A and B are shown apart, each in its own frame.
Chain A
């Protein structure tokens, strides 16, 4: 589903590589944590998957596409295969919960009927049934992140990228979000989550890919945050 073949990314000529010789494969339905300190290359990894950045060398395949050969006008079709969730939720403050989720379908040209069917269904899935008409500022942080997840998942993409989705949430709320991501993963969606949250990684016992200074220093099937390498 996501394959990095010896990928190196150097932002500025002469600078230290943000990613170096990364060779990682995620299969369909995988759930993996991407861990590492700030500046270890997690964000660069996610940007390369979304083709916001292009690798300096190496090949990247996402959802059956060779990103090196993907014309820039085809990039939107790639992104429809990837849902993205961020630490800061990125909701539209002047739209209701329903409108925020529907927006993702409107802007890729989906029909009215499909939107009316899918949005309530997805809001039920993330546990926000009945809160369609709330504005984002009326919701708790956890609920806002659920809206963001609903928006990322409403088009049922095969891949869900999460960049520190629990970074702004308290531990109890974070557990709820993780349960939700786990549920989404069980529908066959590949989930890749970049995080700093030790507790969550340790609890989930999922695959852990650890980056340090742009290199993969650990790729463990049922890992914990940092125990083995200390």
Chain B
């Protein structure tokens, strides 16, 4: 009896305030959409990091024929200098950070690589192997430790310059992180709007049924019985919004990322539709939490004794 009564009250309330209820659905849909996007973007960033950073190398360029750097004053790198550099990279504290063995790329190998990848032949015709410089390709166990390796090697005799390939990705990660931040800020603003809208909806609903709630108080209905229908109205509308945004994100990831993006740029691991489902419970929880906050703020005032 109680359950059917509450259910019918909720249904009547939603029907009577249908436009407000729809507004709540839409606002939660958009706000949780932004929030979910932010979470998924961060998941993608984490994916990319674990994907790429394990592949990137630190390149220790050795002195070529002509370089005006102080380390290269004595001319091209000598075998003794090269041995000393390798010694630093393979032993001691630095050696522990480096994945062994270190790959040595000679001038000739560098030139061959250039020829192979220079389809127009522009560079390979004007340059010779002697214009290239030998490189030590160093992989790190922890890519974040670049600075330690750079500090240990860049002042050694025979080292021209030390380059971290991670720099190439820095901009990309910066863009992705900024995008996450923007999505998160928009989500926060929209969530605030959602709370205020749910508050207004519950208030309107409570006001439009003041006659009922007055009688309920008069005849000794419990606080729960009086307030529950309003709480449920807000919660149902908000949850509906959350479900919509989950469906929206799922469709976006499924068709845009899994089907299209993954076929365009195959080198990367993308987030999948199942990642959307892993953030889904959190989104529903937030929606219910929002409406609970709104109920707490509103209902005391409009239905209490």
Which residues of A are at the interface with B, using a C-beta cutoff of 8 A? Answer: 50-52, 72-73, 75-84, 90, 92, 103-104, 106-112, 115, 151-152, 155
Interface residues of B in 206-256 (CB under 8 A from A): 211-212, 214-223, 225-226
Q: Name which of A76, A84, A109, A152 has the most chain B CB atoms within 10 A of its CB.
A: A76
In the assembly, what is the distance between CA of A78 and CA of B220, in Å? 7
Q: Is B305 an interface residue (CB 8 A)?
A: yes
Q: Which residues of B contact A73 (CB under 8 A)?
A: 223
In the assembly, what is the distance between CA of A12 and CA of B218, in Å? 25
In the assembly, what is the distance between CA of A159 and CA of B225, in Å? 23
Contact of B1 with A108 in the complex, beta carbons under 8 Å: no
Q: Is B5 an interface residue (CB 8 A)?
A: yes
Contact of B305 with A108 in the complex, beta carbons under 8 Å: no
A209 smallest CB distance to B (angstroms): 23
Q: Is B117 an interface residue (CB 8 A)?
A: no
Q: Which residues of A contact B217 (CB under 8 A)?
A: 76, 79
Which residues of B are at the interface with A, using a C-beta cutoff of 8 A? Answer: 1-2, 5, 211-212, 214-223, 225-226, 305
Nearest CB in chain B to that of A52: its residue: B305
Q: Which residues of A contact B214 (CB under 8 A)?
A: 90
Given contacts A90-B211, A92-B211, A92-B212, contact A109 B218 (CB under 8 A): no
B298 smallest CB distance to A (angstroms): 18
In the assembly, what is the distance between CA of A103 and CA of B211, in Å? 12
Nearest CB in chain A to that of B215: its residue: A90
Contact of A107 with B5 in the complex, beta carbons under 8 Å: yes
Q: Name which of B2, B218, B222 has the most chain A CB atoms within 10 A of its CB.
A: B218
Nearest CB in chain A to that of B225: its residue: A107
Q: Which residues of B contact A90 (CB under 8 A)?
A: 211, 214-215, 218
Given contacts A90-B211, A92-B211, contact A80 B220 (CB under 8 A): yes
In the assembly, what is the distance between CA of A126 and CA of B212, in Å? 22
Q: Which residues of A contact B220 (CB under 8 A)?
A: 76-82, 108
A202 smallest CB distance to B (angstroms): 30
Nearest CB in chain A to that of B216: its residue: A107
A145 smallest CB distance to B (angstroms): 15
Instruction: Enumerate 11 A-B pairs (CB-CB under 8 Å) in ascending A order.
Output: A72-B305, A79-B220, A90-B214, A92-B211, A92-B215, A104-B215, A107-B225, A108-B221, A151-B215, A151-B219, A152-B219
B219 smallest CB distance to A (angstroms): 4
In the assembly, what is the distance between CA of A90 and CA of B220, in Å? 16
Q: Which residues of B contact A109 (CB under 8 A)?
A: 1-2, 222, 225
Given contacts A79-B219, A80-B219, A104-B219, contact A110 B211 (CB under 8 A): no
In the assembly, what is the distance between CA of A151 and CA of B223, in Å? 20
In the assembly, what is the distance between CA of A72 and CA of B304, in Å? 10
Nearest CB in chain B to that of A95: its residue: B212
Q: Which 4 A-B pairs have the closest CB atoms?
A: A79-B220, A80-B220, A107-B221, A76-B220
Q: Which residues of B contact A107 (CB under 8 A)?
A: 5, 215-216, 219, 221, 225-226
Q: Which residues of A contact B211 (CB under 8 A)?
A: 90, 92
Nearest CB in chain A to that of B212: its residue: A92
B123 smallest CB distance to A (angstroms): 84
Contact of B1 with A111 in the complex, beta carbons under 8 Å: yes
Q: Which residues of A contact B2 (CB under 8 A)?
A: 106, 109
Contact of A76 with B223 in the complex, beta carbons under 8 Å: yes
